[in-house]
Amino acid sequence: MSYVDEVLEGLAERDPYEPEFYEAVRECLDAVRPLVDENEAVYRENAILERFVEPDRVISFKVPWIDRNGKVQLNRGWRVQFNDAAGAYKGGIRFHSTVNLSVMKYLGFEMVLRNALTGLPMGGAKGGADFDPKGKTDREVMAFCQSFTNELYKYVGSNMDIPTSDIGCGSREIGYIYGQYKRLTGSSEGSFTGKRPDFGGTELRVESTGYGLAYMAEEMCRAKGLPFAGRTVVVSGSGSVAINAARKCAEDGAKVVAMSDSDGYIYAPAGIDLRIVKEIKEVNHGRIREYADRVEGVEYTKGRGIWRVPCEIALPCATQNEIGPEAAEALVKNGVILVAEGANMPSTPEAAAYLKEHGVMYMPAKAANAGGITVSGLEQVQNAGHCAWTCEEVDARLRGIIHDIFVRIDTAAAEYGRKGDYAAGASIYAFRKVAAAMIAQGIV
């Protein structure tokens, strides 16, 4: 049995109730098999794989808070500090009802790889709680965030672990968390990112994940000698990532023809007016079907099925596993040339394999979704230097780092005989970098 298979078998036996985590590890280790085989002796000697798939620590705690009716509520909170070989722990805080330990470990593991790709000195971590801010008042959200911070603050700091925003935890929640952190520690160091620019945050943080996704799609086109301008794009979702990816695609000359939400999707052959989408979703908090009521020539379809819309570029930005085998077949049939992931694991392993087998350029989330953590890392740099950069400065750095990520991935894939396999290249580059750091720092 190979070293990779030994570790995967052991992980499945030890953590049988953590499917999300196991799937992320399996995908990574399968991709790095050639690298592991090449360096098996030194990796075995240092137990690299066993240590790589085990978090440095998992912190679990209760979060009691009082709702608007004076009733005590209780949630569970976590912080998974996965690996700090490449730098201080770095990763988001997610507030959502689906949060559990398996999800936290999977996301923390992915952050180790994603952060390594950026070239910034960042390790990987993830945290959150099974708390859903939707439908809660500002006072309720503040009460929860302050209680959450009462435990979290013991384990984070600007040179140890720097949490940032994620699903359900935006600038409002980070503001409450940061305020309570300062109250408890008496320190205003840059221990959290995702803050508003008026108290230490960075410009472009909200837009960064979507912008980075669009920039990665442009890099993929450029590598094939294909123009990006004029391409037809389908973007699933209509949240921040989707809207900003669509915005940057449109600004750079592509045509976005479909977007969605959990109810259904719109198809606008002439192109979507993002000003209307932003008004519906961000101002009125409405549903995407309202777009079809306001704009002539637009079709609204209830339910899933957005990937049946013909396109050349597909940017899944909605949910996990939204592109399965059937959707992948529809994309290929309709002439898609590239898929770049804006959500976490939106393509099933079978769908990703089908896309690659049929010559579709496929960029996994750990690379295509790296814009957000990149700008979060740049916020750290600004905080450490007590300075603030303009939107233009941050955007230029983001474009440059996304370009560098693509080059690293492309080079690593080619080096191991898998030219054009960006999923393999991403895992190979990131794993090799972190493994080298682990070896250099000894058995710790």
pLDDT at 363 over 80: yes
CATH of the domain at 78: 3.40.50.10860
Residues 148 and 297 in one domain: no
Shared domain for 246 and 335, answered yes or no, is yes
Q: Are residues 222 and 356 in the same domain?
A: yes
Structure tokens at 410: 């492309």
Last residue of a domain, one of 189, 222, 252: 189
Query: Could you tell me if residue 371 is inside a domain?
Result: no
Note whether residue 429 is domain-resident: no
In a domain, 196, yes or no: no
Q: Which of 363, 388, 418 is where one domain is finished?
A: 363
Last residue of a domain, one of 189, 216, 240: 189
Domain count, the chain: 2
The whole-number pLDDT of residue 191 equals 85
Task: Confirm whether 136 is domain-assigned.
Answer: yes
Q: How does 384-406 read in b/e, with b if 16+ C-beta sit within 10 Å?
A: eeeebbeeeebbebbbebbeebb
Query: 183 and 223, same structural domain?
Result: no
CATH code, 314 = 3.40.50.720
Read off the tokens for 191.
């221990």
Task: Report residue 95's pLDDT band, with 50, 70 and 90 as the boundaries.
Answer: very high
Closest alpha carbon to 246 in 227, 268, 223: 268
Q: So what's the pLDDT on residue 345?
A: 85
Average pLDDT of the chain is 96
pLDDT surpassing 90 at residue 354: yes
> What pLDDT score does 1 carry?
87
Same domain membership, residue 216 and residue 149: no
- Looking at the fold, whether 219 and 337 belong to one and the same domain comes out as yes
Q: What is the C-alpha separation between 360 and 311, in angstroms, rounded? A: 12
Q: Is residue 374 part of a domain?
A: no
Q: Are residues 255 and 158 in the same domain?
A: no
* 221/325 same-domain check: yes
Q: Is residue 421 part of a domain?
A: no
CA distances from 325 to 20, 355, 442 (A): 19, 9, 43
Do 156 and 303 lie in one domain? The reply is no
172 exposure class (CB count in 10 Å sphere: 0-12, 13-18, 19+): middle
Tokens 């309570």 — which residue?
A: 180
Q: Which residues pair with 314 in a beta bridge?
A: 234, 339
The catalytic residue positions are: 126
**Residues 158 and 242 occupy one common structural domain:** no
**Domain of 283, in residue numbers:** 208-363
Q: How far apart, in Å, are the Cα atoms of 324 and each of 331, 337, 349, 356?
A: 11, 17, 8, 14
pTM, whole model, 2 decimals? 0.94
Mean pLDDT of 129-150: 97
**Does one domain contain both 309 and 224?**
yes
